[in-house]
């Protein structure tokens, strides 16, 4: 049998709660990455076996959003967003990645009680696998978006697409940071998961996903003479990420035929900078939530 | 030689017994934190486990054995003290950790192996061995929800023993599977030992400690009660926990008497392995002694296949005084009307002093006799019975 590089390692465990050293810890998590991929594989497999549509379920979800919201906004509310499906999907793929990850992550430690109590491994793996599972869904839904764009003969507007990778990095960093936090919190306080479900519902409507981002910007820019939009952008980083996604795919701030701006009025460079800002902010947030998770995780086996 | 594979230094572990911990955010906000009592599962345990040794960990339920294993493996952290480990550690606290019902045996092997620390490549290499060891070649692509509990456990153990650790921690998982599989597992552990790996082994079965372990420690209420050779620890365990002074004495025969053979005969010359209920049985014990011994007692015992003591008799009880004893002697015990309907039985013979403080010689669990099962007698006991029928 083969011996691995881990053989000569000396591990010292003491009563003191160990300090999180992000690089060393990241190496630990990396060493156990096999569990991560296997857990994601398991999640997907369990989700899709014994279902006739299988993977298509992941694609059905955004299509359903699309059908409902297109109907409501185009016919009932007479929304004036041209190519509404493209607008909706470009934001909603980011949202489902975020909310899907959190919904799985909040229960990830609690649902794997037997594993946590019986096996040693870096517990970060559990919420990370939730993000991983949602990321696979994200890829499938992005494919739906591309199909819809082709179906609508929607033009890909050049440089904007470069915002996509940047916004994606921001999305993943922010999602991981929040996922670690809710997973750790839910171990001690089980109503975190119910609170989260409600918070996500509110968050959904507070983010311009189904209504025009440009409308939000316009409204918040002049609240009794005060420009609250910058405050909003600081308070809701997810919206900043969504702005990036929307610009990357929907591309046109005010498409011909629209009486008002649909997207927020900001240059591509400005949006790119915004994404970088979110990434930096998320990394700081991650540094904090990871520390919380790491310190709490030493006692997970006792608290479950 | 070298540094210890596992160094346990002054390790204590307290669990909080919280009367009413806030388990919801609401409760946390509405009330202040409740008082928690400490329960000390381990107190000041210190022990060095040298590489290549097999250490048995024994003690009554709740003595902290599993807690200590969990601290060594890193699942729990000590409240005080330090544990230092060198090399890769695999803890078998549960078989089939992370097994998922909806996955096939093959998928679960990969999942479980990764949880125990194997990479995909390493698992690929031993995959066939794992399946063969579990004896599940035909079912490996079946979902484990269709497995019997025995198949489940076999696959779990098979993965576990194919992980390639420097230190293997085993928590009573050997008590699973049928006898054939248990033997395979013990063989595998012996193989591990020969490869010079370190094993820490929690068990209740003291015979396993004697058979496998080079040293042992005994925990009582979280404290190290005794640590030393396997025999010393087991003696103490028997003395303190089983109150079985006799078993301790019996495990240290002086060797003054050699029991040459223990044989069984059916009275009519049939094989003792084909006895019938109610048959008579002769047990013949040949004994040799070099020096003379004063007034010994010869004891015979019958154990069933589960090692439960069924019968014990001795020459003193039977009113035979052996007096001064020297040279070779043959004892023939005749047992009348065997009271069993079926089963396999082993024999033990020993020679001891009348005051039971010294055992001169012992021969344990020799092949005895067997009564093949008959379908018309489903119960255990055989009682010779007559029946009369009359009209009323």
Q: What is the pLDDT of residue A61?
A: 75
Among A41-55, A87-101, B67-81, the range with the most confident prediction by mean pLDDT is A87-101
Smallest Cβ distance to B81: which of A15, A116, A190? A15
Tally C-beta pairs within 8 A across A and B.
133
CA–CA gap between residue B137 and residue A69 (Å, rounded): 52
Which has the minimum average pLDDT: A151-165, A283-297, B165-179?
A: B165-179
Q: pTM for the complete prediction?
A: 0.76
Mean pLDDT of chain B: 85
Picking from B39, B38, B45, the residue whose alpha carbon sits closest to that of residue B80 is B45
- Chain B residues whose CB is inside 8 A of the A35 CB are 114-115
The residue behind tokens 């890829």 is A139
The arithmetic mean of pLDDT across residues A261-284, rounded, is 94
Is the predicted pLDDT of residue B21 greater than 70, yes or no? no
Is it the case that residue A54 has pLDDT exceeding 80? no
Strand partners, B164: none
Res. B307: pLDDT tops 90: no
Q: Where are the alpha helices (DSSP H) in A32-156?
A: 33-48, 56-70, 84-111, 113-118, 125-151
CB contact, 8 Å: B144 with chain A? no
- A-chain CB neighbours of B111 within 8 Å are 38-39, 41-42
Report how far residue A298's alpha carbon sits from residue A171's, in angstroms, rounded to the nearest whole number: 28
Measured CA distances, B122 to A174, B99, B118 (Å): 34, 19, 6
* pLDDT tens figures, A16-53: 667 788 888 898 888 888 888 888 988 888 777 666 66
Token code pair at residue B210: 């004697």
pLDDT value of position B241: 73
Show residues of chain B in contact with A7, CB under 8 Å.
87-88, 166
Say how many residues make up chain B: 392
pLDDT above 50: residue B335: yes
**Residue A4: which pLDDT band, with cuts at 50, 70 and 90?**
very low
**What mean pLDDT do residues B164-173 have?**
82
Mean pLDDT along residues A198-209:
95
Q: How many Å from the N-terminal Cα to the C-terminal Cα in chain B?
A: 87
Query: Which of B3, B36, B66, B88 best probes binding to A when mutated, by most A CB atoms within 10 angstroms?
Result: B88
Q: Phi first, then psi: what are they for A211, rounded to 5°?
A: -115, 160
B81 touches chain A (CB under 8 A): yes
In the stretch 104-143 of chain B, residues with CB closer than 8 A to chain A read 107, 110-111, 114-120, 122, 125-126
ipTM: 0.76
Q: Which is more confidently placed, B332 or B16? A: B332
Q: Does B15 touch chain A (CB under 8 A)?
A: yes
Q: Tell me the per-residue pLDDT of B248-279, one tens digit each, with 9 for 90 and over.
A: 777 788 888 999 999 999 877 788 888 888 88
Question: In this predicted structure, what is the pLDDT of residue A47?
Answer: 76
The confidence score (pLDDT) of residue B188 equals: 83
């Amino acid at each position: 049998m083969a011996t691995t590089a881990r053989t000569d390692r000396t591990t010292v465990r003491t009563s003191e709660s160990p300090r999180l050293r992000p690089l060393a810890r990241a190496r630990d998590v990396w060493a156990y990455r096999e569990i991560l991929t296997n857990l994601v594989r398991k999640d997907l497999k369990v989700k899709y076996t014994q279902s006739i549509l299988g993977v298509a379920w992941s694609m059905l979800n955004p299509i359903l959003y699309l059908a409902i919201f297109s109907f409501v906004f185009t016919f009932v509310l007479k929304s004036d967003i041209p190519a509404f499906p493209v607008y909706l999907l470009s934001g909603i793929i980011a949202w489902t990645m975020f909310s899907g990850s959190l919904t799985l992550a909040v229960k990830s430690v609690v649902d794997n009680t037997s594993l946590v109590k019986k096996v040693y491994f870096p517990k970060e793996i559990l919420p990370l696998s939730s993000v991983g599972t949602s990321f696979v869904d994200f890829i499938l839904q992005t494919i739906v978006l591309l199909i819809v764009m082709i179906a609508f003969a929607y033009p890909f507007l050049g440089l904007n697409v470069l915002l996509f990778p940047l916004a994606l990095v921001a999305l993943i960093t922010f999602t991981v940071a929040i996922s670690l936090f809710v997973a750790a919190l839910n171990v001690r306080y089980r109503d975190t998961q119910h609170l989260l479900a409600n918070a996500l519902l509110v968050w959904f409507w507070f983010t311009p996903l189904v209504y025009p981002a440009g409308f939000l910007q316009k409204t918040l820019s002049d609240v009794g003479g005060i420009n609250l939009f910058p405050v909003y952008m600081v308070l809701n980083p997810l919206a900043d990420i969504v702005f990036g996604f929307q610009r990357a795919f929907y591309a046109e701030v005010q498409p011909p035929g629209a009486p008002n701006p649909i997207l927020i009025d900001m240059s591509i460079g400005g949006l790119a900078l915004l994404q970088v800002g979110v990434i930096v902010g998320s990394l700081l947030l991650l540094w904090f939530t990871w520390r919380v998770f790491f310190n709490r995780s030493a006692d997970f086996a006792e608290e479950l | 030689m070298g540094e210890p594979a596992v160094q346990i230094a002054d390790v204590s572990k307290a669990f909080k017994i919280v009367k009413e911990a806030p388990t919801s955010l609401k409760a946390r906000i509405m009330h202040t934190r409740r008082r928690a009592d400490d329960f000390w599962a381990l107190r000041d345990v210190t022990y060095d486990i040298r590489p290549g040794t097999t250490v048995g960990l024994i003690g009554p339920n709740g003595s902290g054995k599993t807690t200590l294993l969990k601290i060594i493996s890193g699942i729990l952290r000590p409240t005080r003290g330090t544990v230092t480990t060198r090399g890769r550690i695999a803890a078998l606290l549960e078989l089939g950790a992370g097994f998922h019902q909806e996955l096939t045996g093959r998928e679960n092997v990969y999942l479980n192996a990764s949880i125990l620390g194997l990479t995909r490549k390493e698992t690929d290499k031993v995959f066939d061995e794992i399946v063969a060891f579990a004896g599940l070649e035909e079912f490996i692509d079946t979902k484990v929800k269709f497995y019997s509990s025995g198949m489940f456990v076999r696959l779990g153990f098979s993965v576990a023993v194919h992980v390639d650790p420097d230190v293997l921690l085993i928590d009573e998982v050997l008590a699973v599977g049928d006898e054939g599989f248990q033997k395979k597992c013990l063989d595998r552990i012996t193989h591990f030992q020969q490869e010079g790996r370190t094993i820490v082994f929690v068990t209740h079965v003291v015979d396993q400690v004697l058979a496998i372990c080079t040293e042992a420690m005994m925990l009582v209420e979280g404290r190290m009660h005794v640590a030393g050779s396997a025999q010393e620890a087991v003696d103490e365990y028997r003395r303190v926990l089983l109150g079985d002074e006799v078993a301790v004495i019996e495990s240290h025969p002086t060797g003054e008497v050699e029991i040459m053979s223990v044989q069984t005969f059916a009275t009519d010359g049939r094989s003792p392995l084909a006895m019938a209920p109610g048959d008579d049985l002769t047990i013949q014990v040949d004994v040799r002694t070099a020096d003379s011994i004063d007034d010994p007692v010869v004891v015979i015992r019958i154990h069933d296949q589960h090692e439960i003591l069924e019968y014990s008799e001795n020459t003193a009880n039977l009113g035979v005084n052996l007096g001064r004893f020297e040279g070779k002697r043959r004892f023939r015990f005749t047992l009348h009307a065997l009271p069993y309907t079926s089963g396999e039985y082993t024999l033990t013979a020993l020679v001891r002093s009348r005051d039971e403080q010294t055992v001169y010689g012992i021969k344990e669990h020799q092949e005895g006799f067997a009564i093949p099962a008959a379908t018309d007698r489903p119960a255990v006991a055989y009682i010779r019975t007559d029946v009369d029928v009359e009209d009323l």
